[in-house]
Amino acid sequence: MPLSETLTMSPFLTLSIAGFAATAISFGPARMGFGLFLSQFRDSFGIGTTMAGLISGAGFAGFLLGLIAAYAATAWRGPRLPVLIGLFLATTGMAIVAVAPNAGTLSVGVVMAMSSAGFAWSPFNNAVHQQVEPDMRSRSLSVVSTGTSLGAALAGAIALALMLGGASWRIAWAAFAAAALASLIGNLVAMRGVAGQPGRGRSNWRVLCVMPALPLYLSALSFGVTTTVFISFATDRVVRAGGLEGLPLQASPAVMFIIYGIAGLAALGTAAIKDRIGLPRLVRGLLVVSALSLALIAVLPTSWPGVAAAAGLQGIFVMMMSAVLAFWSERLFPELPSFSFTATLLAVALGSVIGPALAGVLSDGLSPAAMFLAAAALSGATAIAMRPRLIRETPLDCEDQPGPAR
């Protein structure tokens, strides 16, 4: 049977693979590449920690704006359009970084690339809800979110190979841009079944602003702050502390991202783990994992076991929590899959804007260790606040909420 026919007959497989590729690019090198190559950017363009925080914060602000634009585009023309816009931004932005002659041009490319993440993930909640059977949606969304793992691992592997070979970081960014173009073309074909199909649902924000959804939004906000602190500054923390023993100084970030990405593949089993232990235990456990990861980077930045554990734990946290946020929002608001996930990601984006900017100032004002310990404390406090009785995953009765607008 031809591959195209097989994919047409299996929406689960088609959308899972397409989403995996889109998130691999947009949440892999496009979103994380700045942190991965920050030490090289410092050498090439003289970027300080505060400036790095502002660039990263601007990129995550683009992510926030992209989320809003993606929801509007999904409501207008269906989920394929925003995904293609996101992958176009990733392709163009990373190509600009590859040829950037100065810090200003570099910033433009980084912001464009990071903005792509706002377009290329949330629409898959809509697409999956339209075409995948209910009992397979959590698994499909877990596969989509785990694309970040492969993207991070491959980005790290490419960076490591180039560094060990003495090649310029610009070659890596050119390769990232080429991969983004390939993903764009693949999604153009794979998502044709949901092109021009926006799906149904309300667009009244008051429907989503209900108390049972507050733990979801608070978890998302904390997630946005802490993960962007790690993504933006963890590799730089290790390099500035002296790097990992036995490696060239600039190779440490690449090794960290490889470990981060490989460990994150555990998220493919997120739905199964949730079914076994329940959502409350999974959410709280993941927040504890985040706190441990950040604390390890704070106190053991040159220790192989410490850094490897920190990168691996962070990879598990990011990928599994991403999957949790996707299917948690879809379960609470099954009639509003894209809208509810967009609201959740807006909370992530708000934290993503605040996190790097404040972290850069805190690092310069106190120390990098204090910055990471503060982020670890936030994850720990969020875990304590997530009381099991407050975490709900059964559908909310939107008919009882104010302002329904079909």
- 132-172 per-position pLDDT tens digit: 777 787 778 778 877 888 888 888 898 888 878 878 889 99
In a domain, 203, yes or no: no
Token look-up 């992958």 returns 87
Evaluate whether 156 touches 66 at the Cβ level (below 8 Å): no
pLDDT of residue 402: 40
In a domain, 226, yes or no: yes
Picking from 380, 192, 155, the residue whose alpha carbon sits closest to that of residue 286 is 380
**Domain range for residue 16?**
3-197+209-395
In a domain, 260, yes or no: yes
> What is d(CA 382, CA 317) in angstroms, rounded to the nearest whole number?
14
CATH (domain of 321): 1.20.1250.20
In a domain, 359, yes or no: yes
Within 8 A by CB and 6+ apart from 252, the residues are 235, 238, 239, 243, 244, 307
pLDDT of residue 323: 85
In a domain, 404, yes or no: no
In a domain, 53, yes or no: yes
pTM above 0.85, yes or no: no
Given a cut of 70, is residue 76 above it in pLDDT? yes
Interval 270-292 mean pLDDT? 93
Given a cut of 80, is residue 203 above it in pLDDT? no
pLDDT of residue 204: 66
Interval 214-229 mean pLDDT? 94
> What is d(CA 146, CA 178) in angstroms, rounded to the nearest whole number?
21
Q: Which one-letter amino acid corresponds to residue 303?
A: S
Q: What is the DSSP letter of 367?
A: -
Q: What totals of helices (H) and strands (E) does the chain contain, helices first?
A: 17, 0
pLDDT band with cut points at 50, 70 and 90 for residue 85: very high
pLDDT of residue 280: 92
Among 49-58, 213-222, 286-295, the range scoring the smallest mean pLDDT is 49-58
First to last CA, the chain: 42
Q: What is the DSSP letter of 133?
A: -
More confident residue, 402 or 44: 44
Among 13-22, 120-129, 250-259, the range scoring the smallest mean pLDDT is 120-129
Residue 81's φ and ψ, nearest 5 degrees, are -55, -50
Strand, helix or coil for residue 277? helix
In a domain, 202, yes or no: no
Count of beta carbons in the 10 Å neighbourhood of residue 333:
26
The total number of structural domains that make up the chain: 1
